[in-house]
Structure 1
Amino acid sequence: MATIFEGAEVILPDTVARVSVRVEDGRITGIDCAADGARRIDARGLVLAPALVDIHGDAFERQLMPRPGVFFPLDLALLETDRQLAANGIATAYHALTLSWEPGLRSVAQGERVLDQLAVLAPRLAAENRLQLRWETFCFEARPLIERALGAAQTPSLAFNDHTSMAMLAPGLPLQTRPFDLAPDYPVVNLAQMATASKFAKRAARSGLETGDYLRLLAEVWERRPQVGAAIARMGDRARGHGAPMLSHDDSQIETRDFYRGHGARISEFPMNETVALAAREAGDWIVFGAPNVTRGGSHIGSPSAAEMVSRGLCDILASDYYYPAMLGAVAQLRAEDRAPLHALWQLVSRNPARASGLADRGEIAPGQRADLVLLDWPEGAAPAPLLTLRGGALVHAARGFGL
C-alpha cells in the first residue's frame, strides 16, 4: 500500500522543509500532498533524506579477511557487509573490488568469487550491491574478468589504479606530487635494498607472501610497464562500449588526470593535491574525496583536506572509502562547521554520486525518483542515526517499527 511520511524535516534538492512525502510502488509519488488513504508514518522530530549512494567503499575487505591471512566464508562476509550498508542509510554501494597481481585478498581469483557470490546473493541483499572494478593497471590477468563483469545486468564502474608505480616510487619522494606514473623518467626504488622496508612487509602480509617473495613478484610485474598504456586504452574502450562510468585513482599530476580523462575517466577519485583538483574542476570532471578525511579532520596520508575542498567547491562526492559510518558523520561535521547549507551537503552523498555513476533514478526526494530514503534521528549537535532505510520503497533497515 502507499505510505506517506508526515512531520519530518525533509532534505529536498534545493532546500530543507517540513513537508509530507508519499511513496507508492517503489517511487516517490508526491510532495506535500494529501494522504488519500495511504498508511501514515509519524516522523515528527526526525529528518527524512535521500538514501546514500556510496561510489567507493572497501570496508567489505575487513569482513572477508579481518586479520592477515584469516578468511571467512564469502557469503557470510558479504551478508554482514550488506547489513552494515543498510544500517548506515546506504541504499546503493559500489564495492571497490581491487583486481591485482597480488595473490590473496586482492587477487583476480578472489575477485571472481566476489562477483559470482554477489550475483547469487542479490535477491537477499538489502542494499543494491554494485561493483567498482578497481583495476590495478599492471594486472593484465584481470582483463577477462573485467569484460565479463561489464556485461552483467548491473553495470559496474571501472577505476584505473596504479599502486604498482606508487610502490616503486623512489624513497623520499612524496606520493602526493609524484610524477605521472607512465613518465619515461619515473624515479624508482632499488628493490634489492628494500628487504626490510615496512611498507613492503605490510603488502606482503596482505598477499600471504614473505617479503622477499613479494619483492621478487613486484620486480617481475614491473617488467610489464611498456605494455601498460596500451592495456589501459583497451579497457577504456571496453568500458565506454558498455556505458560504464570510469574513475582514476590518486591522481598526482595534471598530466595524469588528462591521460585518464582521454580514456573516458571523467571522475577524479581522491586527487592527491589541490592543483589536480583545480584542473579537474576546470575540465568539468567529478571530484571525489573520502568521508573519513572529513570526520578525522584531514587525510591520513597528507592529501588535501576534504572539508576545505568542499568549502572551495573542489569536492562533488564524499565516499565511505574504508568506513561506512563516515558518510553520515562527514555531513554532520560539515554542517556543524557551516561549510554549506544542509541540502547542498547532502548532495555529496546522494545525488552527485548517483549522477556521476549514471544513475538518474535516485539520489533526491522528488516525484518520480526511486524511493531510496533514510529516516534519521538527528538531534541538534549530535550524530545522525538511521531509524529506517528504504530501497525502492521496501524497508531494508529498521531501528524502530513505525508500524511498517
Structure 2
Amino acid sequence: MTQQETRIFSEQIVTPDGAVRGEVVLRGDRIHAVEPRESAPAGALDWGRDLLIPGLVDIHTDNFEKHYQPRPGALWDAYGAALAHDGQCAAAGITTVFDSLSLHGRKDGLDRKESLGPMIAAMDAAQDDGVLRADHLLHLRCEVTNPELLALLEPHADNPRLKLLSVMDHTPGQRQTANTERFHERMVAAGRSQDEIEEMLARRHAGRDPSVAYSNRRSVVGFAREYGLPLAAHDDESLEHVEEAHDDGCVIAEFPVTLAAAKAARGYGMLVAMGGPNFVRGGSHSGNLSAREAAEADVLDIIASDYVPLSILRSAFLLIDDMGWAPERAIATVAANPARSVGLVDRGEIAPGQRADLVRVFRGAGGWPAPVEVWRQGARVA
C-alpha cells in the first residue's frame, strides 16, 4: 500500500547537524527525507520563516495532578482531567509526555494514594479511546520513606505505559528541602500558619524510618532491573547521593540541588535534567541549583516541564538567545536527549526514519516561541 506523502517547507529546519533551509518529506507516520531547497515547491506546506523542530519529549510533569484537583479540595473527573492535561501538553509542542505521579502522601490537599489509581485508569482509557493528542507514558515517582510504597507500585508493573521510575526522599532537611528556612518561607507564602508548619515538619520527621527508606530503595532498584525500566535519582544533594545513584544504575540525575552533585552525576555518565520553570524564572523556587547555572557550567542535558508545560520550549530558545547555544544543541535538551535517556530511539530528531513528530514555531513578541502547529506521527494534533 502506498503511504501518504506530505512535504513541509521551512527556512529554518532544526536538524541534528544544524538549521537548514529546505523541506521535510513525510511518508505515513515517519520522516522519509530532509531535502535542501530554496523555496517551497508546488504542493508543499509552506511554513516560511517559522522554525520546524522535532516534537518535544517531557520526562517529568506534575501537570496532570493540577487538572485532577484544579483547586484545593475540589476534585475533577479523572477522564476529563486527562483530556485537559493532554490538550495543554500538545498545545505546548509536547508530543511525548511522561505523566509523573508521586507514590506518596498529600500535596495541596490531594491524597496521592487515593488519586493514583483513578488517574492512571483514566489516562489508559483515554488512550484506548484514541482521543489523546500526545503520546502519554508513565513515570512513577517512588518516595522511599513511604511504608506503603511497594503496595502502590506493584499493581502497575505490567502497565505498558510505565517507562520510568525515580527514587526520591522529600523529608524536610533532606535533599530538595535541605534548606529548612526556605521550606518555611514557602509554606508561609502558601498560607500555612506556624502551627501547621510545625505539625507538618513533625509528622514528616516522625514518619521517616531509615530502615524503611533503605529497604524501599533496594526494592525499587530491583524492580527497575526486573522490568528493564530506566531509573532516575531525584534531588541528589551530595557526592554520596550521586555515588549511591550511580551504584543503583540510575541513568538520569533529575533536578540535582547542588552544582557539585550535577557535576558528579555527569562525571558518572548520567544525564542531568532540570526544570523549565526554574530556567525561565531564573532560579529554583526551592532555593536550590539554578538551571541556568547548570547550563553555564555545561552540565545541563535535559529540560523537563515540571509544572508548566510551555516552559520547556521557552527554555530551549532562551538557551539559544541568552546563552548562545546552537539551535540543534538547545533543541536536543527538550527532544532527543530526554528521548534517549529513557530508551526512546524513534523520536526527538528531524531525521529520516524518525517519527513524524513536528512543531511549527513562530517567534512572537519578546522572542517568545509560539507553537502554532503540532504534528504527531504525521498528523496534525494542535
TM-score over 0.5 (shorter chain): yes
Partner of 1:135: 142
* TM-score when normalising by structure 2: 0.88
Residues 1:163 and 2:170 aligned together: yes
1:193 matched residue in structure 2: none
Task: Specify the SS of the correspondent of 1:94.
Answer: strand
- Per-residue deviation, 1:260: 2.1
Query: Residues 59, 228 of structure 1: CA spacing in aligned structure 2 closer, same or farther, 3 A cutoff?
Result: same
Q: How does 1:84-99 map to 2 (within 5 A)?
A: 84-99=88-103
Matched, 1:372 2:368: no
> SS where residue 26 of structure 2 aligns?
strand
2:68 to 52, 55, 64: 64
Quote the offset at 1:289 in angstroms.
Answer: 0.7
Instruction: Summarize the alignment of residues 327-346 of structure 1 with structure 2, pairs less than 5 Å apart.
Output: 327-346=312-331
Alignment of 1:232-247 (within 5 A): 232-247=217-232
User: What's the CA shift string for 1:354-388, capped at 9, x where partnerless?
Assistant: 00011011000110011111111125952111121
What residue is the counterpart of 2:253 in the other structure?
268
1:111 aligns with 2:126: no
Task: Work out the percentage of aligned pairs sharing the same amino acid.
Answer: 32
Q: Tell me the CA shift for residue 102 of structure 1.
A: 3.9
Runs of 4+ in structure 1 deviating by more than 6 angstroms, as ranges, are: 167-172, 199-206, 210-213
Is the CA contact 2:175–2:237 (under 8 Å) kept in the aligned structure 1? no
CA distance in structure 1 between the aligned counterparts of 2:186 and 2:369, rounded to whole angstroms: 39
Q: d(CA) in 1 for partners of 2:141 and 2:172? A: 15
Partners in 2 of 1:106 and 1:38 — Cα distance? 56
**Residue type of the partner of 2:167?**
F
User: 121, 124, 137: which is aligned to 2:126?
Assistant: 121
Report the alpha carbon displacement of residue 211 of structure 1 after superposing the two structures with TM: 6.8
Q: How far did residue 243 of structure 1 move?
A: 1.6
The answer (yes or no) to whether the contact 1:56–1:320 under 8 Å persists in 2 is: yes
- For the residue of structure 1 that corresponds to 2:343, the secondary structure is coil
Deviation at 1:202, TM superposition (A): 7.7
Query: Are 2:310 and 1:325 equivalent residues in the alignment?
Result: yes
1:66 is displaced (CA, Å) by 2.1
Does residue 152 of structure 1 match 2:159?
A: yes
The residue aligned with 2:293 is: 308
Structure 1, 254-263 or 95-104: larger mean CA deviation: 95-104
Q: CA RMSD in A?
A: 3.0
2:271 aligns to what?
Answer: 286
- Matched residue, 2:59: 55
Q: Which runs of 5+ in 1 are unaligned?
A: 177-197, 398-404
Give 1:99's aligned amino acid: L
Residue type matched to 1:137 in 2?
A: V
Q: Which residue of 2 aligns with 1:13?
A: 16
1:254 to 226, 239, 243: 239
Indicate yes or no: 2:207 matched with 1:221.
Answer: yes
TM-score by length of 1: 0.84
CA distance in 1, matches of 2:369, 2:277: 16
Structure with the largest fraction of strand = 2
User: Residue type of the partner of 2:116?
Assistant: G
Q: Which moved more, 1:144-153 or 1:340-349?
A: 144-153
Verify: 1:350 aligned to 2:335, yes or no.
Answer: yes
- In 2, the alpha carbon distance for the partners of 1:289 and 1:10 equals 26
Rounded to whole Å, the distance in 1 between the matches of 2:188 and 2:73 is 12
